[in-house]
Amino acid sequence: MSDDEVLLRVRGLTHRYGARTACAQVDFDLHPGEVLGIVGESGAGKSTLLHCLATRLQPSAGTVEYRCADGRLREVFALSEAERRLLLRTEWGLVHQNPRDGLRMEVSAGGNVGERLMAVGERHYGRIRTQAAHWLAQVEIGAERLDHLPATFSGGMQQRVQIARNLVSRPRLLFMDEPTGGLDVSVQARLLDLLRGLVAQLGLSAIVVTHDLGVVRLLAQRLLVMRGGRVVEQGLTDQVLDDPQHPYTQLLVSSILRV
Ligand SMILES: Nc1ncnc2c1ncn2[C@@H]1O[C@H](COP(=O)(O)OP(=O)(O)OP(=O)(O)O)[C@@H](O)[C@H]1O
């Protein structure tokens, strides 16, 4: 793919917490419609990297360029605070592992979804409600639950509300941090299936952080393997998982096979 098709370009991305380097010298390109998985053990630097990409953390070094809807590739940390906030409300979505971090628990499911439309200027109550019902239906939550508080939902349902809240503004890029973490295996499988369908149907680009190779096998075309803050291997998911080159990736894959 040519350079002018890149959606996100990351070069030399490094983040330090004081003296501790959490991620170092990360380079990759993400293309439209592509899902990139980031895997590695606990402490590998995955979440730090994701939060730098989503501009929730300021990197210590490196650049993140994003092709805005107007076609221009822009360094996200050079954008104003207001421009970044707008990106996070419109073109980007961020799905947290814990739905409580991405939802307002004191607001109804419909309100959680509709709120994002209001944040971009929609004021018509009927349209907001219709859109909220539509996006909740997309994540298999019936209209009868529209006015219920997320606290009355199961963990899997809360996660689906969080996903609907992110999708209602029709983002181009979704950042997901362990989207199926902490859920029962059968709930995970159903959520993964749903996510895979939505990503394909909406032509979304996404970056998914997980320690679960099954998640990336299902969702991601490309994979970054991180260890100790560094990318030790990257490539097409099937190639990396079926024929891992780096000893750490080999260990990661074989440990799953042994389970
Ligand atoms: N707020 C923080 N202050 C200091 N050190 C931190 C902070 N957050 C993370 N770290 C350290 O940075 C390194 C990378 O952590 P990070 O959470 O990014 O890894 P991770 O791969 O996402 O791990 P996990 O899968 O457990 O979430 C770890 O050594 C961690 O202890």
How confident is the model at residue 165, as a pLDDT?
Answer: 96
Which CATH number applies to 1-88+192-259: 3.40.50.300, 3.40.50.720, 3.40.50.1100, 1.10.3720.10? 3.40.50.300
Among 13, 16, 17, 248, residue to substitute to test ligand 1 (most atoms within 8 Å of Cβ): 17
Nearest protein Cα to ligand 1, atom 24 = 42
Q: Give me the mean pLDDT over the 27-37 stretch.
A: 97
- Which tens digit of pLDDT belongs to each residue from 71-95? 999 999 999 999 999 999 999 999 9
Q: What is the mean pLDDT of the chain?
A: 94
The pLDDT of residue 3 is above 80: no
The number of the ligand 1 atom at minimal distance from the alpha carbon of 209 is 22
Domain positions in the chain: 1-88+192-259, 92-170
Residue whose structure tokens are 């042994």: 258
Complex ipTM > 0.90? yes
Å from CA of 3 to ligand 1 middle = 32
**Confidence bin at 182 (pLDDT 50/70/90):** confident
Q: What's the predicted TM-score (pTM) here?
A: 0.94
In sequence order, the 6+-apart residues with CB closer than 8 A to the CB of 8 are: 29, 30, 53, 64, 65, 66, 67, 173, 205, 207
The number of the ligand 1 atom at minimal distance from the alpha carbon of 211 is 25
Å from CA of 209 to ligand 1 middle = 13
Å from CA of 170 to ligand 1 middle = 30
**Confidence bin at 120 (pLDDT 50/70/90):** confident
CA distance 86 to 181: 28
Pocket of ligand 1 (CB under 6 A): 17, 20, 22, 40, 42-48, 211
Å from CA of 49 to ligand 1 middle = 10
The number of the ligand 1 atom at minimal distance from the alpha carbon of 51 is 18
In this structure, which long-range contacts are made by residues 142-145, counting pairs with CB atoms below 8 Å and at least 24 apart in sequence? 145/109
The pLDDT of residue 119 is above 60: yes
Å from CA of 48 to ligand 1 middle = 6
Measured CA distances, 149 to 74, 95, 100, 159 (Å): 38, 19, 12, 13
- Which tens digit of pLDDT belongs to each residue from 198-254? 999 999 999 999 989 999 999 999 999 999 999 999 999 999 999 999 999 999 999
| Residues 246, 253, 35: CA angle, nearest 5 degrees | 85
Å from CA of 58 to ligand 1 middle = 15
In sequence order, the 6+-apart residues with CB closer than 8 A to the CB of 181 are: 97, 210, 212
The pLDDT of residue 256 is above 80: no
Among 23, 38, 47, residue to substitute to test ligand 1 (most atoms within 8 Å of Cβ): 47
CA distance 7 to 67: 5
The pLDDT of residue 166 is above 60: yes
173-177 and 92-95 strand pairing:
parallel
Å from CA of 71 to ligand 1 middle = 34
How confident is the model at residue 59, as a pLDDT?
Answer: 98
Å from CA of 42 to ligand 1 middle = 8
Chain centroid, CA 216 distance in Å: 12
- Which tens digit of pLDDT belongs to each residue from 46-60? 999 999 999 999 999
Q: Give me the mean pLDDT over the 101-128 stretch.
A: 93
Nearest protein Cα to ligand 1, atom 11 = 22
Q: Are 220 and 35 in contact (CB under 8 A)?
A: yes
